[in-house]
Each structure stands twice: as structure tokens, then as C-alpha cells.
Amino acid sequence: KMHSVRGEPKGTDRPIVGVLSQELGEEAKARYPGKTSFIPASYVKALEASGARVVPILIQQSEDYYKHIMSSINGVLFPGGGVRFEDPDGFAAAGKIIIAIAEQLQDSGISFPILGVCQGYQLLMYIASNSTAEKDILVNCDTANIALPLDFKPGFQHSRLYEHASKKIIDILKTLPVTSNHHVLCVTEDMLRTHNLDNSWRVLSTNKDSQGLEFISSSEHFHRPIVGLQFHPEKNMFEWKPGQANPHSRNAILSARHFYDWVVEESKANNQSFANVQEEHDSLFSNYCPGIMYKNTSSEYRAYFF
């Protein structure tokens, strides 16, 4: 990914990935007065474990804020959660601005990756379809707490996401129930066709819910370094709620790391950076302390609050 020939894009071996925050629920607002949004710590840890430094991107900010931070970092992650996309000033509104800026960067020749996880993948589809309500693009499905192997589509190994995955990782994903599913909404191939997204988004794997409904579990844009996952690879490593279907076996962790390794490796393909070391240091998650989300109940044990 690193080029030194004059005229070719240069990369970085010091990538910084931004993670978008999302609205706080009422119970957490009561616990953390004055805070309005949060980022689960598991996403930050997963990106750091794959070799990136990580910065928060806050919701409810100006367009100039997003332009500035997007020109200073090397990739973006949209995390999972449970917010309403219809909120005019929330997660989806910020995500729409970020995607537009990322596409401008990509169109100008800067390789800028986005990874969407669970809710983050659904957001990618919501924005791509120009939906104004979640039901325009998302359907109900019964996959709230189950670990599944992936049903790969023919040719998946030639995709941006899986082309560098080892045979061992593919075999694990294909044969063992290692992907951690915690969603009650999903995107189907019918929905892609309905919104004419099947010619810009490539379905790489599907799964079936408990009722036999087939949904998309991994997908990527045909021409841009944008990937969506309906499952949660960070939970295998970093989430420990008793009773949650988050496999913690060696194989589950090995295969889960592939997805965060992917976005971090892709982030090394551009050399954007903050204006100076001080601004960079002031932006990192190391300036914040995570807190407990909800004692005893939350699947997101630790989170950062903003």
C-alpha cells in the first residue's frame, strides 16, 4: 500500500481511524449528567489491537467540524447500537455528512475506507438508498443473540474484504458459529434490488434468522473501500456480558480480528494527518476515560461519554 514513486499516492504506517458517537439513552443520561453521546470502548480497543490510533467523531457538530476531522484521519468506523436513524440531529445525520465527505475524498484519488458494523452497516444502506425512514430499507429479523457461520457467495474470495484473508480464517468463518449477531433489523437482497443498490453493493455473505429469513451479513461497495458487516467482530474479543452469544474461542478471536485488521490496513493507503502533533494528541481517545454504561445490564459494558 505504501508508494514512493513520484506522482503515486503515499500512505502512512501511523493510521488514525475515527469512530462516530451516537445518542445516549435516558438512563445513561441520568448517570452521566451533561453528556449527550457515547462510543462503546470495544470498538476503540479492536481498532487499537489491529494497529491504529483512534479518535472520536462527535454527533451534532457543524459541517466544518466534519470536514476538518475527515481531512485529518485515515478511515472511519460506524459502530453498532440502537438509535433511530430518523433523528434529524443524531447518528444518521452525522453519518450522512461523513459519507459525503469520504466520497469526495475518494473521488479526488484519496483512498479513504469506511467500516460499518451492525447498526453502522444499516446506516450505510440507509444513506445509500436515500431512505427517510428505517422501514424503507430495513426489515425485522430474529437474530438478537446468536452466533453463526457465514454463508459465502460465489466469488467472495475476490472481494476487497476477503481477498487477503488466510484459508484458515475463511474456513473458520465458513464452518464454525463464530460471528456474533445482536440485531432485530436487517437488510435483504430484495431490499438492495428495490433501491437499485445491487449494482453498487456486492453481497459477500448471507445468513438466515430463526424464521428462515435470509439477510446480508457482509457486503462491500463495488468501487469504493466501504464495507458493511451485520455481525459484531469486536464482541468476540472485548464484550463479556453473561449469556451473550459472543464466542471467545481462539478461532473466533482469530477470525474476528480479520475485519478490524482490514479497515486499519486500508487506512494506511492515504497519508492524511492532523496539522501538528499537538492537535493529533489532543484528539485521541487517550484523552478520555471510559465509564460503565449500565451496571449489570448493558451489553456495552464500558463506553466513552461526550
For residue 241 the three cell numbers come to: 456480558
What pLDDT is attached to residue 243?
A: 86
Return the sign of the alpha-carbon dihedral for residues 260, 263, 266, 272.
negative
Reading the block at residue 153, the C-alpha cell is 457467495
Active site residues: 118, 232
pTM of the model: 0.95
- Interval 154-167 mean pLDDT: 98
* Enclosing H/E stretch for 101: helix 91-107
Give CATH for domain 16-305. 3.40.50.880
Cβ density class 156-186: b for 16+ within 10 Å, e for less: beebbbbeebeeebbebbeebebbbbbbebb
Q: What are the strands of the beta sheet with 37-40, ordered from one edge?
A: 22-23, 37-40, 302-305, 291-292
With cut-offs at 50, 70 and 90, classify the pLDDT of residue 298. Answer: low
Phi first, then psi, for residue 277 (nearest 5°) are -65, -35
pLDDT digits (tens, 9 = 90+) for 22-67: 999 888 898 899 999 999 999 999 999 999 999 999 999 999 999 9
pLDDT in tens, 65-103: 999 999 999 999 999 999 999 999 999 999 999 999 999
Instruction: Indicate if the pLDDT at residue 1 is higher than 60.
Output: no
Question: In this structure, what DSSP letter does residue 43 have?
Answer: H
End-to-end CA distance of the chain: 34
Per-residue pLDDT tens digits for 170-217: 999 999 999 999 999 999 999 999 999 999 999 999 999 999 999 999
